[in-house]
Structure 1
């Protein structure tokens, strides 16, 4: 009896272990939305590491992006190519797109999918379009338009050609690696063409079209893909779906690498240091300014910065601050505003939507800086024009009261209290103690005074 129970127990444990081993692994959903920059590249990399450590069967990279920085794009692609977990890039929901850098990421993924009503393409790294000339009624091209087109073609620099050729070779290599349409991929780079979801599937650019993630998983069940860890068969029909969302570090890095935030932090930092150097001992403006300046510089070193724009920006700020101390009659201030505005517009060297400094922010910062500088200059000028109320000049026309009598002759001196101080005084008339007096002059440490009622009568 005991042997039979033990045999049944062993069989039950074996069945439980077999059922646990047969349970489908999970699927990790990583949302990738907005312009692709350093913060989002780091987020995708950490998401792939999380999926590998969790033993996931698949990563779904749900993407909606207008493009992004080349360095960040290549960082994501390298992480996908090295991932032992299959990655399915899914352009969703309807109305989303994968333009520019998003097209490269889609081509690099193990599986490419799109939702209805989405599009991809326009992967040209530099705008190098050359328009054709209009034709005459007789069918011949207009000579003037043809010469203009030829002039535009000659303006295409060697750097732009190198960038386009490099990008075309890069995406063509990805297409050949995944068995997708390499010819269309090259056209997307050289001609900036785009495709809808159905057209992309017909052209062999993507693998399938699905309305949502559950439908995508149903279609992927049983498909085999090649990964860095070898060939794998997907079991996704009953897989549990978990979402990997950005944490506070991702959100903080995304905020800091926003060019607008970086520019504002630099402004706060420079103003804080300016206040600290102008008024040593406050400490707080210097500490806050140094922290903001360092964080702003950290953000800028992660972005494609135009150093000419940065130099103009710093030169403009120097001119604006110098306006508060030098009598330039506004020349330094106006020049500083112009230099600051041009430098801020040129600061980020990219045309990717969402990674530039908006014009309204530049205008607001330039206007606020100008108001601050000219306001400080105006207050300083106004203070300079005020009459002196302290020191030797401040004693003129001051009033006081006699403490000891003055005889009224040249050698007769008395003592009076003026501005709370005891002064030796001289008067042309006798002044008994307690007489209100007004200061009419000064000779060294001796004041010349007159009775207060006489000076008031003279004023009348």
Structure 2
């Protein structure tokens, strides 16, 4: 109602302007009376200045009345209905508005219009500031971090994980997500990370999945007030899909970890047992060989070995390798 020209799109409504507090509840007591009266004064002042229905403006504040677009035109709340911007310019043409300098007659028919489209950064932020996208990014980031913890040195999964989680937290912060939900999501990440390092037989994964689901549910609780027609929530299908794939992901991680823990631990020079190298001097029977990226003193256990001949480590005696000609080994033996 404050504009010199007021138009409404078809199938829209206007009104219901009674003041409420930040949680959507009524403002009671003297403070409520003061806020209502002040809002009424502001609304009626604007309506009178623009020659519109001041009584309806007061009713919209005191009684939260709301009317359709066609009713708004009939009751002189707005000037006309318009289907788009070109229609607004066409219907506003020839109307006279009052400015501080005096009356002005508008000549708007056929005027060119310019659109201020979002730049690439704004468009990207608009895409990620969505409950579904935020949930998926948080899950993807969690997977990336856990994969990096389980395979240190890959780097790329860790980078992707951190970036995805930061973007998800930015999105949830912009959407004013519930702090309890965010805390549960962070707790879920901690439990998943511990699962990779601690033998819990899946208990940490179960706890992480439960915390993840509860966190997504509590991010946007149903009792949180929102703008009319706006409902922020994460689709149950998205939560279900995330839960299923996350559980499957960690079942695979746990199996791989258990299989790795069951392998025998080989350390020090024992890692050279069975490795293939080359003789860098004649072994008759002692000499020098190149194995595992460095030179070693070696003794041949299979007769003289000529320089340049491939050898395989049979055993390790302190800092000396016991080798044999690699040509003497049958098929099916591995190489290193």
Which of 23, 42, 46 is the equivalent residue of 1:173? 42
Call closer, same or farther: CA 1:231–1:285 in 2, change over 3 Å. farther
Residues paired across the two proteins, number: 274
Counterparts of 1:133-212 in structure 2, within 5 Å, are 160-162=25-27, 170=39, 173-174=42-43, 176-179=45-48, 180-181=52-53, 184=56, 193-210=65-82
Deviations 1:61-94 (A, max 9, x none): xxxxxxxxxxxxxxxxxxxxxxxxxxxxxxxxxx
| Residue 7 (structure 2) aligns with | 113
Distance change >3 Å, CA 278–CA 379, structure 1 → 2:
closer
TM-score (normalizing by structure 2): 0.62
Task: Indicate the SS of the match to 1:206.
Answer: coil
Aligned partners of 1:308 and 1:189: how far apart in 2? 35
Aligned to 1:139: none
**How far did 1:422 drift?**
3.0
Instruction: After superposition, give the CA deviation of every residue in 1:222-249 in whole Å (9 maximum; x if it has no partner).
Output: 334467x866624234341314142334
1:223 pairs with 2:95 = yes
Task: Tell me which residue corresponds to 1:248.
Answer: 119
Change (3 A) 1:240 1:306: same
The equivalent residue for 2:238 is 361
Offset of residue 185 of structure 1: 5.1
CA distance in 2, matches of 1:272, 1:167: 52
Confirm or deny: 8 A CA contact 1:416 1:424 kept in the other structure. Answer: no
Structure 1 position 375 matched with structure 2 position 252: yes
Q: Distance in 2 between matches of 1:220 and 1:338?
A: 58
The question of whether the paired residues in 1 share the 8 Å contact of 2:142 and 2:165 is answered with yes
Equivalent residue, structure 2, for 1:317: 189
Cα distance change on mapping 1:273 and 1:333 into 2, 3 Å: closer
Q: Distance in 2 between matches of 1:367 and 1:316?
A: 15
Choose the corresponding residue for 1:291, options 159, 163, 167: 163
Cα drift, residue 186 of structure 1: 6.4
Alpha-carbon distance in 2 for matches of 1:322, 1:167: 54
The two structures, once aligned, show a CA RMSD in angstroms of 4.5
The equivalent position to 1:235 in structure 2, one of 80, 101, 106, is: 106
Q: CA-to-partner distance for each residue in 1:91-137, whole Å, 9 max, x for gaps?
A: xxxxxxxxxxxxxxxx44443222444434566787x9xxxxxxxxx
User: Which of these two proteins has the greater Rg computed from alpha carbons?
Assistant: 1
The alpha carbon displacement at 1:169 in A equals 5.7
Deviation of 1:319 (Å): 2.0
Give 3-state SS (helix, strand or coil) of 1:244's partner: coil
SS of alignment partner, residue 233 of structure 1: strand
**Alignment partner of 1:421 out of 289, 293, 313:** 313
Tell me the residue number matched to 2:281: none
The whole-number CA distance in structure 1 between the counterparts of 2:116 and 2:242 is: 34
